[in-house]
Structure 1
Amino acid sequence: MKMNATLGQTQAQQLSLSPQLKQSLYILQLSAAGLADYLQEQSLGNPLLSVAWRTPGMRKRRSGGSLREGGGAEPQDQGRRSADTLESVLLEQLHTSGIGQRRMRIARFLAGNLDDSGYMAISVQEAADVLGESLTEVEDALRHLQMLEPAGIAARNIRECLLLQIASKRPENGCAAIIVEDCLDDVAGGRLKKIADKLGITIEEVRQAVGYIRGLDPRPGLRFSSSLVGYIEPDAYIRAENGRFAVEWNAALVPNLSIDANYERLLSNPACRETKAFLSGSLRSAKWLIRGVEQRYATLLRVLTAIAELQSDFLQRGIGFLQPMTMKTVADRLGLHESTVSRAVRDKFVQTPQGLYELGHLFTSGVPTVSGGNASAESVKVLIRQYIDGENKRNPLSDQQMADRLAAEGIRISRRTVMKYREQIQLLSSRLRADGSPIADKDSGSAE
């Protein structure tokens, strides 16, 4: 077969982000401390950029209470600061693992988004949206992160955490892996005979495997959680004014950016052509940065105002009245892309009449009601906590009984959903509340 090489032209459309837009998106998703770090870094390299704060120590401040601290050199490297021992341990392993640059960038981001127990604090889909990567790429990077020490790190649930630890040990305990995969609810309930019958093994084999499982660490990140808890300052305040809620910035965290007049005057009479070129480039960079910061606050103000309007019941009456609200709801209301809203609320805190909240906490899914509306997941969790607080401790309520009570109040919810919400607020199953079993809040639940 004869092969011929030809030269031709083709037309194709490709979406690309300008450096200015990339910088604006980066600035938008920074936390207050991350923004302070970034502006300080930029001002050191740009003589025309002047940065001033109302609070003198702001540019040296670190927000230790942020769930996902910002301020790295790359827009997506927004993990917690290197002072967080768990992250530094993972990053050290990543740098010596031979991982590719693209996967390294994703893995570093994921390593910075682990909770104190070492579990993923965001979903794979959320990470893909923020990073602009495919789900396949993010999942590949997550698998690479999960191969690091401590075993079980970066899991998405207790089952995955235990399976990762079992797989890391040699020889692997296959019986324990099957039990975790298929019978973890029965392990929590102490139903050893049911496990033996289901898997066709002896009670003694089950007992040994369960003992092995109980020896695993359900919270592998806690051993590194020794950093001091910092004071969190809100990015903004939502206050009631004249029958409505108004948004007000925390002035201490808002930078005052300007162009240095002395250097700007040098542009009109530079000492040499190279000096003029340098100052001209610095002036453009400073103006782009100032515009990006202004856009950050303008976008965040729109998002905060929309949240205040949608969550007025919560602001007036408390967490039990938090309404179902997704980022898409806010995005559609403002004519923005959902990823823009995600960046805007990331690592931001707001002081409300009901207390200090991370903005992301105010976004919650809905549970259908008999009236055709929706109740927020948070309001349902409040009811579940109230049921358990007021139950007869000698005869605790099962998940099904709580589902029945919620149905009587007009909330359509399954027993499994009640179990999921109960676990999210770290409350034990009825059996474990009664007998004080050592398997606690991170348990995957029991079939009640």
Structure 2
Amino acid sequence: MKQSLQLRTSQHLALTPQLQQSIRLLQLSTLELHQELENLLVENPLLERVDDALDNAVRLLADGSLNNVSSSSETEFTPVEASKTEASESSITEVSDNSNDAEQTANTDDWSFDDAPSSSSKNRDDDDGRPQLEAAMTSLRDHLLEQMRVSIRETRDRALIELIIDAIDDNGYLCESLEEIHASLPIDLCVELEELQFALNMLQSFEPEGVGARTTSECLAIQIRRMPKVPFVTRKLALQIVQTYLPLFAQRDFTKLRKFLHCDDEDLREAQTVIRQCNPKPGLAFASAKSDYVVPDVVVKRIGDEWHVMLNRDVMPRLRINQLYANLMKQQRGDVSLSPQLQEARWLIKNMRQRFDTILRVAQAIVERQYNFFTHGAVAMRPLVLREIADTLGLHESTISRVTTQKFMLTPHGMFELKYFFGSHVATETGGEASSTAIRALIKQLIGEEDQKKPLSDSKIADILGEQGMVIARRTVAKYREALKIPPVSLRKSL
């Protein structure tokens, strides 16, 4: 076969840089969006945030003079003021026309994403914006050392107790045995194992109650011994349970407990009440782990008989074109070195606006189809798939998937990810469909209303749902129950 060169003309679709940026911004969460925005602000000098913490700071102008910029006057650039800045925009776009880009002549709505009210409009009597300092958390080690300094005088005893404190984990348990600690000490210190045991006993008398225990049984026993106003018989029975029969107590095998302890239901119930007052992990009260908070992208409120969806203005970045560079471009009409940055800034502002508009449209479509959920709760959730929303809005399913991932909605029933409103369906006897979310809500409701002495089994729950017309298997009930983190019937039984 003879080789040859041929030229062929063909057409194919390609993603423009602007479209690629729009897709990337759409799939980012709120936190990732602000991180991406910070990187873009560093790379593009023409882009600026109006809600910058330094927006009211003294700025240096091009001529070297100082200007105290006021965000309530010159710094604000909103679409409402488009008519006032039309002349300024036209003079700047004359410079960018050299790039031959049709979008350079876009209107001022593409210039900013600054519809939220200015932060400087707050009352001056409010906080002056200085950062609120969080008080330092006291660690478990510091708490124990402080008690040791107050209650122990002997230097040798302090050293041994501090040695044991260093072996306490975050839960408050001694993670090393006394024999291991004793073996690690130098021989010339002449430390006896009895001294370490005495130091441990002193440590176990500190707060929080149960600290320094080596096992869960020992931790609970320490707390039960220190409980005030507990009858002798009840205290003795509770100690016997946690020291000998704790596995049976955890499994709620009350029949065997009554047999081994030779007690009746009333005595066992009183001992159970005492044990439940104990904290199996006393050190967690001093844990320094911080909670993660979710900020909603949209908020749903009821006005009259209708549910209305609004964007959360607190998570919407307020962007604009830097006026200093814009004035330089206006003065140097022949210099087009900043034209690419100007175009990128416009693209970003436009894509940011399009991102939040798409989120709002999808949220509104979800609220319209899940009206019963917002009115009556999760038990009224209807089956919903991505294609239904995509066909309604004229978008692709992949776009709906990007919008509903890591985007959250604040409702009167709580905070939910947008994906929460989509779910599979289960057939009913009447030929209809029930949402899996509604079934999980019904299971949670049935378990919440059950008799604690005779809890409902998975088979019984499936039968009750079948009586309501929902065809569901026992293993499906078990799967939904585990997803709700509800223990099985044997662990829900009480006296």
TM-score interval, smaller chain: 0.5 to 0.7
1:338-349 equivalence runs, <5 A: 338-349=397-408
Figure out how many residues of one structure are paired with residues of the other and give that number: 264
Tell me the TM-score normalised to structure 2 length: 0.49
Question: Could you tell me how far 1:373 is from its partner in structure 2?
Answer: 2.3
Question: Could you tell me how far 1:378 is from its partner in structure 2?
Answer: 1.4
Amino acid across the alignment from 2:328: L
Equivalent-residue separation in structure 2 for 1:267 and 1:32 (angstroms)? 33
After superposition, give the CA deviation of every residue in 1:331-363 in whole Å (9 maximum; x if it has no partner).
111111111111112211111121222222222
Equivalent-residue separation in structure 2 for 1:416 and 1:391 (angstroms)? 20
CA 1:227/1:19 → structure 2, altered by over 3 Å: closer, same or farther?
A: farther
Q: Are the equivalent residues in 2 in contact too, given 1:39–1:51 (CA < 8 A)?
A: no
Please name the residue that 2:47 is paired with.
49
- Alignment of 1:403 with 2:401, yes or no, is no
Amino acid across the alignment from 1:348: K
CA 1:396/1:281 → structure 2, altered by over 3 Å: closer, same or farther?
A: same
Given the alignment, which residue of 461, 476, 479 partners 1:420?
479
Q: Are the equivalent residues in 1 in contact too, given 2:26–2:402 (CA < 8 A)?
A: yes
Given the alignment, which residue of 304, 307, 310 partners 1:242?
304
Question: Could you tell me how far 1:53 is from its partner in structure 2?
Answer: 2.6
1:203-222 equivalence runs, <5 A: none
Q: Are the equivalent residues in 2 in contact too, given 1:54–1:251 (CA < 8 A)?
A: no
Please name the residue that 2:370 is paired with.
311
After superposition, give the CA deviation of every residue in 1:173-226 in whole Å (9 maximum; x if it has no partner).
xxxxxxxxxxxxxxxxxxxxxxxxxxxxxxxxxxxxxxxxxxxxxxxxxxxx99
Secondary structure class of the residue paired with 2:332: coil
Please name the residue that 1:362 is paired with.
421
- Alignment of 1:350 with 2:412, yes or no, is no
Question: Could you tell me how far 1:301 is from its partner in structure 2?
Answer: 0.9
Given the alignment, which residue of 12, 27, 30 partners 2:28?
30
Equivalent-residue separation in structure 2 for 1:311 and 1:35 (angstroms)? 28
Q: Are the equivalent residues in 2 in contact too, given 1:48–1:286 (CA < 8 A)?
A: yes
Question: Could you tell me how far 1:291 is from its partner in structure 2?
Answer: 0.7
Tell me the TM-score normalised to structure 1 length: 0.54
Equivalent-residue separation in structure 2 for 1:400 and 1:31 (angstroms)? 41
CA 1:232/1:56 → structure 2, altered by over 3 Å: closer, same or farther?
A: farther
CA 1:38/1:390 → structure 2, altered by over 3 Å: closer, same or farther?
A: same
Q: Are the equivalent residues in 2 in contact too, given 1:54–1:255 (CA < 8 A)?
A: no
Q: Are the equivalent residues in 1 in contact too, given 2:374–2:413 (CA < 8 A)?
A: yes
Please name the residue that 1:290 is paired with.
349
- Alignment of 1:325 with 2:323, yes or no, is no
Please name the residue that 2:447 is paired with.
388
Equivalent-residue separation in structure 2 for 1:56 and 1:363 (angstroms)? 42
When the two chains are superposed, the root-mean-square deviation of aligned CA atoms in Å is 2.8
Q: Tell me whether 347-356 or 279-288 shows the greater mean CA deviation.
A: 347-356
- Percent identical residues: 38
Question: Could you tell me how far 1:8 is from its partner in structure 2?
Answer: 3.1
Secondary structure class of the residue paired with 1:397: coil
Which sections of structure 2, spanning at least 5 residues, go unmatched? 56-286
After superposition, give the CA deviation of every residue in 1:351-393 in whole Å (9 maximum; x if it has no partner).
1121222222222222122233222111111211222233344
After superposition, give the CA deviation of every residue in 1:391-437 in whole Å (9 maximum; x if it has no partner).
344554332222111110111222232222112112234356569xx
Secondary structure class of the residue paired with 2:379: helix
Question: Could you tell me how far 1:267 is from its partner in structure 2?
Answer: 2.3
CA 1:242/1:431 → structure 2, altered by over 3 Å: closer, same or farther?
A: closer
Amino acid across the alignment from 2:425: G
Secondary structure class of the residue paired with 1:267: helix
Question: Could you tell me how far 1:237 is from its partner in structure 2?
Answer: 0.9
Please name the residue that 2:18 is paired with.
20
Amino acid across the alignment from 2:295: E
Please name the residue that 1:379 is paired with.
438
CA 1:411/1:341 → structure 2, altered by over 3 Å: closer, same or farther?
A: same
Given the alignment, which residue of 239, 262, 265 partners 2:327?
265
Q: Are the equivalent residues in 1 in contact too, given 2:298–2:360 (CA < 8 A)?
A: no
Secondary structure class of the residue paired with 2:338: helix
Equivalent-residue separation in structure 2 for 1:11 and 1:400 (angstroms)? 66
CA 1:325/1:280 → structure 2, altered by over 3 Å: closer, same or farther?
A: same
CA 1:269/1:55 → structure 2, altered by over 3 Å: closer, same or farther?
A: closer
1:181-196 equivalence runs, <5 A: none
Please name the residue that 1:252 is paired with.
314
Question: Could you tell me how far 1:56 is from its partner in structure 2?
Answer: 8.0
CA 1:226/1:409 → structure 2, altered by over 3 Å: closer, same or farther?
A: farther
1:79-90 equivalence runs, <5 A: none
Q: Are the equivalent residues in 1 in contact too, given 2:456–2:489 (CA < 8 A)?
A: yes
Please name the residue that 2:138 is paired with.
none
